[in-house]
Homo-oligomer: A and B are copies of this chain.
């Protein structure tokens, strides 16, 4: 009974959690949000988790000056609010829809637990999902601890490329929806520094970029 679930690169919970196949567990319908709508606030009771069926969701917090700090941007098939499973009964961040429309598939906790107990495979998928989140987190942490800003930005772009890069000729194009402020938040620096680095990388002909796209000429040099 060797269970090497870790070797799979992605858990696709979409087809498991999708409400069509889960009548009786999920509420059987999607929630629809407009761009800018908050899905939950800090302090809200954690009643369950969400899977993104369509659109993008930002997980954010606000610093003491009231500026928005982006902690993650998630897309279709991705899950958020999963700390509820781990016994966190209050949400700690804001979750905000940032596309229109944003469709979410909510799933309440008791159903989750029941499913996890009854469906071994599902349970392991959830563990794996959480494990991956932790790994990602640890990776960010170590990066912050050991690497300078430029290295961090390069790693981030490489990750983006791997995740959603498209080959076009001998370059890789990544379409994204981050502002430079978002990049800065995500790698732990300031917007101005990101601007400077983007231009530095452009100068060195490693990448080129516009608002919503990055073209990578030379992945190795990143």
By a beta-carbon cutoff of 8 Å, the part of chain A in contact with chain B is 1, 3-7, 63, 83, 85-90, 109-110, 117, 123-124, 127-128, 130-131, 133-135, 137-138, 140-141, 144-146, 188
List the B side residues contacting A3 at CB < 8 Å.
87, 109
User: What are 30 A-B interface contacts by the 8 Å CB criterion?
Assistant: A4-B89, A5-B87, A5-B89, A6-B87, A6-B88, A6-B89, A6-B90, A7-B89, A63-B146, A83-B131, A83-B134, A85-B127, A86-B127, A86-B128, A86-B131, A87-B124, A87-B127, A87-B128, A87-B131, A88-B131, A117-B117, A117-B123, A133-B134, A134-B134, A134-B137, A137-B137, A137-B138, A137-B141, A141-B141, A145-B188
Q: How far is the CA of A109 from the CA of B127 in the complex (A)?
A: 13
How close is A186's CB to chain B, nearest CB, in angstroms?
10
Report whether over half of chain A's contact residues are helix, strand or loop; otherwise say mixed.
helix
Q: Is the CB of B1 within 8 A of A110?
A: yes
List the B side residues contacting A117 at CB < 8 Å.
117, 123
How close is A91's CB to chain B, nearest CB, in angstroms?
12
A128 to chain B: closest residue by CB = B87
The 6 closest A-B pairs by CB, nearest first: A86-B131, A87-B128, A6-B89, A6-B87, A5-B87, A86-B127
Q: Is the CB of B144 within 8 A of A86?
A: no
Q: Is the CB of B135 within 8 A of A88?
A: yes
How close is A185's CB to chain B, nearest CB, in angstroms?
9
